[in-house]
Structure 1
Amino acid sequence: MENMNDDHMHGMMNNKSDGGLTTAMHPHKMMMHMTFFWGSDAQILFSGWPGTSTGMYVLALIVVFVLAFTSEFVSNCRLLKPGSDNHVTAGLVQTLLHALRVGLAYLVMLAIMSFNGGVFLAAVSGHLLGFLLFGSQVFNKSSADVPAKTSDHLPPPMSC
């Protein structure tokens, strides 16, 4: 493979005045950010979304927040009662909840890979509020009133 020196790389990439990088072969295609940046001009999850509109960027942040919040809810919800007689149904519900939780977590991860600071803060805030409401002891009854946690989902609860 040919060793690329600075002169060769300079011929392939041109700095634009807006800070974006373009290649000589694809002059209209922006390169993806590889460091955190602040601003509403980002691509989150889908090509061209949210676009350049500030309102759509705020909507994208809300969507990422809701995805992270819902992931925490699914991680801590109790749809199965301990001692359920129908193990097949219980296993299917566990499997579906696990798939939903993992899918939501991957969507949040992909959104964070936009390297936008606002998206990162929205994701962390969604996880924070979701865990506070559903996973922490803040809004739960005393530990004597709460039944022992079963393994109806992963990850196991943190013991702090």
Structure 2
Amino acid sequence: MSHQHDMPMPMPMPMSPGSMSNNDTMNMKDMVMHMSFYWGKDATILFQGWPNHSLPMYILSLFFVFLLSLATEVLSVSPAAAKQWTSPVAGGLIQAGVYALRTALAYMVMLSVMSFNLGIFVVAVAGHTVGFFLVKCRAAAAREEDATGFTPKV
């Protein structure tokens, strides 16, 4: 009995003959969708053809996903600048804009993880963890500054 759910699932080819030109070449490596976690640089992350089976581009994509997840956590804190505005509408617009950006970044991280590549999964979790740590360290430093009246060296 074979376990088909662990095997890559081939993606369907375009149905209309005119949808692919003679210049478009696709091989089966580009048309595989994994249904379980796997290791390796041969992944498609966010955009077709990226990182394109290239180790340097895969490493760049790992760094990119790490930064996306880190930014998601950092943006989870309400911007201090929004509180300084005299107009509640302006402050609300800033907070809504930051929220929209954070949500977009979170969805991009989610779509990256849906590549089922373990490297991408690990850096996404690491980015969220580092971002959470930075946010909490900053909050603790701000509380200490409020309590003592001077800025601690962090």
TM-score (norm 1): 0.69
CA distance in 2, matches of 1:129, 1:99: 21
CA distance in 2, matches of 1:138, 1:94: 19
- Equivalent AA in structure 1 for residue 141 of structure 2: K
Contact 2:9 2:32 in 1 (8 A): yes
Report the counterpart of residue 143 of structure 1 in structure 2: 143
Report the counterpart of residue 91 of structure 2 in structure 1: 90
Report the counterpart of residue 42 of structure 2 in structure 1: 41
Report the counterpart of residue 103 of structure 1 in structure 2: 104
Q: Write the deviation string for residues 134-156 of structure 1: whole angstroms up to 9, x where unpaired.
A: 1x247722636459xxxxxxxxx
**Residue 40 and residue 69 in structure 1: after superposition, are their counterparts in 2 closer, same or farther (change >3 A)?**
same
**Residue 108 and residue 146 in structure 1: after superposition, are their counterparts in 2 closer, same or farther (change >3 A)?**
farther
Single out whichever of 79-88 and 112-121 deviates more from structure 2: 79-88
Matched, 1:60 2:78: no
**Residue 53 and residue 115 in structure 1: after superposition, are their counterparts in 2 closer, same or farther (change >3 A)?**
same
Contact 1:22 1:28 in 2 (8 A): no
Q: Write the deviation string for residues 58-99 of structure 1: whole angstroms up to 9, x where unpaired.
A: 000000001011111111253336474310100100110100
Stretches of structure 1 that go unaligned for 5 or more consecutive residues are: 1-18, 148-160
**Residue 146 and residue 43 in structure 1: after superposition, are their counterparts in 2 closer, same or farther (change >3 A)?**
farther
Q: Write the deviation string for residues 120-144 of structure 1: whole angstroms up to 9, x where unpaired.
A: 001011111111011x247722636
- Equivalent AA in structure 1 for residue 120 of structure 2: V
Stretches of structure 2 that go unaligned for 5 or more consecutive residues are: 1-6, 15-25, 148-154
**Residue 54 and residue 141 in structure 1: after superposition, are their counterparts in 2 closer, same or farther (change >3 A)?**
same
Corresponding residue pairs, total? 130
Where 1:114 maps in the other structure, the secondary structure is coil
